[in-house]
Amino acid sequence: MFIVKYIKDVWGAIASLATGMKRTLYYFTHHKEIITQEYPDNRDSLVMAERFKGEVVMPHDEKNEHRCTGCTACELACPNGTIKVITKFDISPEGKKKKAIDKLVYHLELCTMCNLCVEACPSDAIKMAQTFEHSVYDRKQLTKILNHPGSKIMEGVE
């Protein structure tokens, strides 16, 4: 009958709306379900995943030595021209010329964190750091030189 169907429609509609309202009321009253992270305040307790790809860094040991041989594998692997290896020739104590890096220029503003350079590196000289707060006021600051001033290649890395 028309009237019965009409009333059923109205009742069904109200019931379906009430179900949704019950669910939102649940969340309104249960504040432990809140998932907001108050980001700049929780910086101290923030744990980044150890594999997080934030920027490329070159680890140096306490003697200010790195593992980079200047082979330009990372430069070739990079799809965006982010890395530029500038090499020089060191004269070793025996008088032999040896290729070494002068500067490893890294353009953070071009980097897409694809990890291909780290994969390509034969001597594990570079790795990804977990930093992510990269914003600066001047774009020039994003161009970084990865090897520290005065650093040398580690003994035994070929």
Partner 1 sequence: MTNEELKIKITELLPAASFEEGGEWLTISIEPGDWLSLAQQLRKDEALFFDYLFCLTCVDWKTHLSMVYHLSSTQYRHTIVVKAKLDRNKPEIETVSQIWRTAEFHEREVYEMFGVNFRNHPDLRLLILPDGWEGKNPLRKDFEDPVNMIRL
Partner 2 sequence: MWSLSHIANEIHTWLSNTFNPTWTQIIEMVLAGVAVIGLFAALGLVLVLMERRVAAWIQIRLGPNRVGPFGLLQSMADTLKLIVKEGLTPDGADKVMFNVAPFIAMIVAMLLMAPIAFAKDFQLWDLNIGVLFVTAISSIMVISILMAGWSSNNKYSLMGAMRSGAQIVSYELSAGLSIMTIVVLTGSLQVSDIIHSQANGWWIFKGHVPVWIAFITFIIAVTAETNRAPFDLAEAESELTAGFHTEYSGMKFALFFLAEYINVFIVCAIGATLFLGGWMPLHFGSGNAFNHAMDYIPSSIWFFGKTFLLIFLIMWFRWTFPRLRIDQLLNLEWKYLLPISMVNLLVTTAMAILGWHF
Partner 3 sequence: MYRQTEIIKEAVPGSNGETGEFTINVGPQHPATHGVLHLVITLSGETIKKVEPHLGYIHRSIEKMCESLTYRQFIYVTSRMDYLSSHINNHACALCVEKGMQIEVPPRARVIRVLMDELTRIASHELWWGAMAMDLGAFTPFFHAFRERESINDIMEETCGARLTMNYMVPGGVMQDIHPNFQKRVKEFIRLYKRKIDEYDELVTGNIIFQNRMKGVGVLTPEDAVSYGCSGPVTRGSGVSSDIRKLYPYEIYDKLEFDEVLETGGDSFARYLVRIREMQQSIRIIEQLIDQIPEGDFQAKTKAVLKLPKGEFYTRVETARGELGVYIVSEGGTTPYRIKFRSPGFSNLSVLDHIARGSKIGDLVAMMGTLDLVIPDIDR
Partner in contact with 81, chosen from partner 3, partner 2, partner 1, none, beta carbon below 5 to 8 Å by kind? partner 1
Should residue 46 be labelled a site residue for partner 2 when binding is judged by CB under 8 A?
Answer: no
Nearer to partner 2 (CB atom), residue 20 or residue 149: 20
Should residue 116 be labelled a site residue for partner 1 when binding is judged by CB under 8 A?
Answer: no
Tokens of 85: 């290896």
User: C-beta of 13: minimal distance to partner 2 in Å?
Assistant: 9
Partner in contact with 115, chosen from partner 1, partner 3, partner 2, none, beta carbon below 5 to 8 Å by kind? partner 3
Largest CA distance in the chain: 106
Binding test (CB under 8 A) with partner 2, winner from 25, 76, 86, 136: 25
Nearer to partner 2 (CB atom), residue 4 or residue 91: 4
User: C-beta of 43: minimal distance to partner 2 in Å?
Assistant: 15
3-state DSSP of the chain: CHHHHHHHHHHHHHHHHHHHHHHHHHHHHCHHHCCCCCHHHHHHHCCCCCCCCCEEECCCCCCCEECCCCCCHHHHHCCCCCEEEEEEEEECCCCCEEEEEEEEEEECCCCCCCCHHHHHCCCCCCEEECCCCCCCCCHHHHEEECCCCCCEECCCCC
Binding test (CB under 8 A) with partner 1, winner from 81, 95, 149, 150: 81
Q: How far apart are the first and last CA of the chain?
A: 90
User: C-beta of 82: minimal distance to partner 3 in Å?
Assistant: 12
Which residues of the chain form contacts with partner 2 (CB under 8 A)?
Answer: 10, 17, 20-21, 23-25, 27-28, 31, 33-36, 38
Residue numbers at the binding site for partner 1 (CB under 8 A): 79-81
